[in-house]
Structures are given as C-alpha cells and as structure tokens.
Amino acid sequence: MTSKTVTFQRPFILTGFDGVQPAGKYTVETEEEQLDTVLAPAWKKTITIIHLKKGISTEYQAIDPTELHEALMRDGAQNDPALPPPASSVKGRHDRARAVRRKKF
C-alpha cells in the first residue's frame, strides 16, 4: 500500500462522489499486488481510495487513479491569470506560433 497527499486548489468532483468537494489536501492510498513474473518484480494496482473529511468523520471513496490524475491536471491548469498559459493549451500553442512568426520577419 502506498499513500500520498494531493492538493486541489479549487473545488472538484470525481465519479461516485455525492457532490463537489472543497479545495484542500487529500490523502490518497493505492493498494497493489505483486504479480508472478520471471523477469522482474511487477505490481498491479488493485484499488485506489481517497479520504474525504465529513465533519469529524472520514469517508473512504474508491476512485479511478486516471480520473484523479486528470482532475489534478485540470486543477493545475487553472493557474493565476497573470501567468502565461500552459504550453499544452490551445492559447499557449497559438501564442508560441505567433512569437515564432514574429522572430522570422
């Protein structure tokens, strides 16, 4: 079992949640099982859970690790508007293309 803390800067929701969760730090645990392989040790994720604080109690919700990763990437992509857009965004690619064209002329 591995455990890590993830931080959401903004409210978020994942499949299976009762509603939107507030921004903040969340503990995520992933359980893995070792596979029998000849060449090298290999591990398979069996379940990923997130700890959701509900007042004084904690709810443990199974989640899709890929969906969590995508939600964290979306959350991180919503940076301060004063900063330049991420290079992977459409606006970022457009801005880079315009800058390259200006340098050529």
pLDDT tens digits, residue range 1-14?
889 999 999 999 99
pLDDT of residue 2: 87
pLDDT (mean) for 42-50: 84
Q: Is 94 helix (H, G, I), strand (E, B) or coil?
A: helix
> What is the domain range of residue 32?
2-104
* Share in percent of the chain as helix, strand, coil (round to 5): 25, 40, 35
d(C-alpha 14, C-alpha 104), whole Å: 45
**Using 50, 70 and 90 to split pLDDT, how confident is the model at 15?**
very high
User: What was the pLDDT predicted at 96?
Assistant: 60
**pTM, 2 dp:** 0.65
Count of domains in the chain? 1
- Segment 61-90 mean pLDDT: 74
| 45 or 96: which leads in pLDDT | 45
